A and B are shown apart, each in its own frame.
Chain A
Amino acid sequence: MSFISRGFRGKRRDTASSSRLPPGQYVVNDFPVLSAGPTPRVSLSEWTFVVEGEIDEPKKWTWDEFRKLPAEEVTKDIHCVTKWTKLDTLWKGVSVDTILDGVETAAEFVMAFSYGGYTTNLPLEDLTGGKAWVAYEFDGQPLHPEHGGPARLLVPHLYFWKSAKWVRGLRLVKEDQPGFWESNGYNMYGDPWREQRYWGD
């Protein structure tokens, strides 16, 4: 250890949760909100979810259609790049495996896009295989607009900015392009366990 902050002891955490805490993170019990602009207002009667891009027939669901898709309940730890981690968060939503069921694509990447214009890029393989959902309930309640409702992407193994709030669709693409935060200094991939917060991490 090359540098020590004189007089700093810190709050020690219990070992049970520390093994679930990526480097540089700390546990919160509330659910902080982060977004770059006003919360978009999306009425359920107008809400749709689409899969487009490198796909023969784009797929599209209305809210009622989407809610009829088989849903899963998952409990996951989530890690925000601003340092907070929230353990054991309970979500309900549709697995991206279900959304992409039967889709043939040459794409290796995805640009998730949202109401309000937000975008974030991910490798396709990080969205499939039981790793990602489009979630519309948090803690047994409809997802609050501040936290991304009506529905948000949930990709808990990556920093939480990849879990696009107010998600409107997935664009399947061949080339990895930076999304919103990825164009503003944040990492293209965002693995919390490798502390990939920013460009070059």
Chain B
Amino acid sequence: MARTAVLGRLEWQLGSVAELVQETPRVASLLLDMPEWPGHLAGQHVDVRLTADDGYQAERSYSIASAPEDRRLAITVERLDDGEVSPYLVGEVRKGDKVELRGPIGGYFVWRGGDNRPLLLVAGGSGVVPLMAMIRHRSAIKSTTPTRLLYSSRSEEDIIYRAELEALSTAGDGLTVAHGLTRKQPPGWRGYARRIDRPMLEEVAWPKEQNPIFFVCGPTPLVEAVAGHLVDMGFEAPSIKTERFGPTGG
């Protein structure tokens, strides 16, 4: 669907903010009504363009958080204090505002569903966003592809989509979620309490014989470390797809 949709030029479109969801103190989701959305694949992103009244413009890319099946297009944005676009999207934008964007973009870091290779999704911070699109897509198409999400956050309050992940992982359709908190853990925390390391990956990774696919998204040090460990563990490089959320991105 999206493949044919992007053959022509990706035109700028106006979306209307139908709903704002404060996911964490720093992260919000914008649910947009897009009258002419061509559809997308789970894992793709959009470009957002802001225009000031004197014509000054700023553009940034954001991962799509919604499943292709969802009625509204969702992007989830982390507010960067020294950023230019994210403080507008998380803080200034109100319900009913219009946001200009074009997409969907990217044809590699995507999961289409439909095959049964088990998935290991590894996220750091807001890197969970495109992986959430895959998880939502998986649920929407009633896939039972064995799927594990290993999700590293700084503290409990920084976990994005926590309640929804909890609900989806207790649905009994083969999704499990393992959380790690790197900076601060609440009393009685039963998840991991350290950065993602090789022993952790060995605990959650599917056996090689099952030919798993990996999607890794987060800050560069996390992505480099995780992809490196997976190669060391004997997984084939082409099965490991990566995407990065650096300190820049504004």
Out of B52, B106, B241, B250, which one reaches A9, CB within 8 Å? B52
Complex CA distance for A44 and B107, rounded to whole angstroms: 33
Say yes or no for B195: interface residue by CB 8 A criterion: no
For residue A25, give the distance in angstroms from its CB to the closest CB of chain B. 8
> With A3-B98, A7-B92, A200-B10 given, is the CB distance from A37 to B237 under 8 Å?
yes
The residue in A34, A116, A117 that gathers the most chain B C-beta atoms within 10 A of its C-beta is A34
**Contacts across chains A and B counted by CB atoms under 8 Å:** 126
Say yes or no for A184: interface residue by CB 8 A criterion: yes
Q: Which positions 230-250 of chain B face chain A at CB distance < 8 Å?
A: 230-231, 237-238, 240-244, 246-250
- Residues in B with CB closer than 8 Å to A200 are 6-10
Which chain B residue lies CB-closest to A1? B55
Pairwise interchain contact A37-B241, C-beta atoms closer than 8 A: yes
Say yes or no for B105: interface residue by CB 8 A criterion: yes
Which chain A residue lies CB-closest to B245? A32
Complex CA distance for A198 and B46, rounded to whole angstroms: 12
Q: Which positions 197-250 of chain B face chain A at CB distance < 8 Å?
A: 220, 224, 227-228, 230-231, 237-238, 240-244, 246-250
Complex CA distance for A5 and B237, rounded to whole angstroms: 42
For residue A51, give the distance in angstroms from its CB to the closest CB of chain B. 25
Q: CB-CB contacts of B82-104 with A at 8 A, as 1s and 0s?
A: 00100010001000011110000
The residue in B58, B228, B230 that gathers the most chain A C-beta atoms within 10 A of its C-beta is B58
Q: Which positions 36-93 of chain B face chain A at CB distance < 8 Å?
A: 47, 49-53, 55-61, 84, 88, 92
> With A24-B57, A32-B244, A38-B231 given, is the CB distance from A10 to B84 under 8 Å?
yes
> With A36-B242, A38-B242 given, is the CB distance from A4 to B53 under 8 Å?
yes
Number of interface residues of B (CB under 8 A): 49
Q: CB-CB contacts of B1-43 with A at 8 A, as 1s and 0s?
A: 0000011111000100000000000000000000000000000
Say yes or no for B109: interface residue by CB 8 A criterion: yes
The residue in A6, A8, A23, A82 that gathers the most chain B C-beta atoms within 10 A of its C-beta is A8
Pairwise interchain contact B61-A82, C-beta atoms closer than 8 A: yes
For residue B33, give the distance in angstroms from its CB to the closest CB of chain A. 16
Which chain A residue lies CB-closest to B108? A184
Pairwise interchain contact A32-B109, C-beta atoms closer than 8 A: no
> With A4-B51, A35-B242 given, is the CB distance from A84 to B248 under 8 Å?
yes
Out of A6, A82, A146, A180, which one reaches B224, CB within 8 Å? A146
- Residues in B with CB closer than 8 Å to A8 are 50-52, 58, 88, 92
> With A83-B59, A199-B6 given, is the CB distance from A26 to B250 under 8 Å?
yes
Pairwise interchain contact A1-B58, C-beta atoms closer than 8 A: no
17 sampled A-B residue pairs with Cβ under 8 A = A1-B51, A5-B51, A5-B52, A5-B99, A10-B56, A30-B246, A32-B220, A34-B244, A38-B230, A38-B237, A39-B228, A82-B61, A84-B248, A181-B108, A199-B8, A200-B10, A201-B9
